[in-house]
Structure formats: structure tokens, C-alpha cells
Chain A
């Protein structure tokens, strides 16, 4: 027996590769990225706006979500307009006042909620704001009333 092992020392890699593929598939399927935005928000069409590409989103950019019911959040954490102000202040200290602020407001959100966020921005001296809209509905999802 001992002699046979030394004669054929190479491992059969096939089952190993099979298992590794199985593992890759398993993790790809089960992996759910950390939720970084409010998934309930539905955005209005804005086909003529500037397409949001990676260039339009420098590391300094700030996204503020406003849900249908007026919930203000960043990275899916509910916050108040005062916290928005604080975040803008922090960001100004780090990046200066040239960073883009993107407001992702649900199409049903009342203007008063949007105003609360915009006022928080203006009190910190950020006069230029951008609203996020849908450039192309590639997923085929439509707005629900």
C-alpha cells in the first residue's frame, strides 16, 4: 500500500473544485448587501436630468432620503433635520463647501418634509441642491399610487 501512494502522489482536484463552486454559488445567492438606502422610496421620472454616474458621486457626496410619510433618513437610519445640519457641518469641515447634496424624496412626499431638509441645508450655507429622479426604468418597476 505504501508503495502505491508514492507512485501516485497527485491529488484529484475535481471534488475540491466542485465544492468551491458550490460555496461560491451559496454565498453569492445568500449575500445581502447592507441596506444603504430607504428601499421604500419610489422616485419620479426625470429623464432630462444629469445621469448619475460614478463621476457624479464623489466620495464627499451626501444622500438624504425622504420617505412617503416624511421620514428623513441617511443610510437607512432615521434622523431629524437637526442631525442633517450636523452631518453637513461635519462634511463641510472635511471637504469644504463644494460637495453635492442629493435629496432622494419619494414622489408622494409632501413638500413641507422636503422643505425641512432644504432649510437644514441652507442654514449651513448649502444653496445648491439636487433631487434624485429616475433616468431610465431598466428594472421595469413602475410607480405605485
Chain B
């Protein structure tokens, strides 16, 4: 017996490879793709810099209401807001955007508005609550 083992010392790899393939298939099938996340930066107005912001001439106001977004006193869809923000951003990227949120507005509208501002590179985003 001992002699036979020395004559044929290498392992049979076939079952091992079989098992490894099974494992690969198992994990490929069961693996779940995870969502990727992003962050949208925003500032809260500081009580002492409010008067300073008033002096700044470049300023856009977006109202976030319970039923949608309001820009320049007019209800706008996301597409319309996109167009308006694009125009404003083409003038100056330093423009301050004031987002005034109603207390009962759903969070998604605020995120939508912040996303559009980020799309056109506006960085001075201030979130107010009314």
C-alpha cells in the first residue's frame, strides 16, 4: 500500500474544481446588486449672515411646496426648473440659491431641486424652512 502511494502522489483535482464551479455559480446567482448613493450638499442659513446675503445681487429663490416647486412665483415642473436653473447658472455659478421649504412639503421636492442645482454646478445652496 505504502509503495502505491509514493508511485501516485498527486491529488485528483477534478472534484475540487467541480465544487469550486458550483460555488461560483451559487454566488453569481444569489449576489444582490446594491444601489449607489450620492450626497447633495446644502447650507443652513446662519442667523448672522442673513443681512449679508440680502446685499448679494445674484440670488435665486425656489419655493418647495406641498404640491411641487415654485420658481419666480410660478409653479414649475422639474423640466421647467431645469431650464430656468440652466439659464441662471450660465450667467454665474456663484449665484446663491435659496430653497424655501414649506413644513408639509415632501422631502423629494427638496432633493429634486438640489439635484438640479448640482447638475449645473451651483454650489451656494441655502435651505430655509417656512
CB-CB contacts below 8 Å: A121-143 with B: 121-122, 127-141
Question: How does the 8 Å CB contact mask read for A78-91 relative to B, with 1 for contact and 0 for none?
Answer: 00000000000000
Does B104 belong to the interface (CB within 8 Å)? yes
Q: Which of B50-58, B69-77, B90-98, B112-120 lies at the binding interface?
A: B112-120
Does A99 belong to the interface (CB within 8 Å)? no
Question: How does the 8 Å CB contact mask read for A9-52 relative to B, with 1 for contact and 0 for none?
Answer: 01000100110010001000100000000000001111111111
Does B129 belong to the interface (CB within 8 Å)? yes
Query: Cβ of A14 and Cβ of B35 under 8 Å apart?
Result: no
Among A7, A49, A110, A129, the residue within 8 A (CB) of B38 is A49
Distance in angstroms between the alpha carbons of A138 and B38 in the assembled complex: 13
Q: Which residues of A contact B42 (CB under 8 A)?
A: 128-131
B residues at A contact (CB < 8 Å): 1-2, 5, 15-16, 19, 23, 26, 30, 32-44, 46, 64, 101-108, 110-112, 114-116, 118-119, 127, 129
6 smallest beta-carbon distances between A and B, as pairs = A49-B38, A107-B108, A135-B38, A48-B119, A130-B39, A112-B103
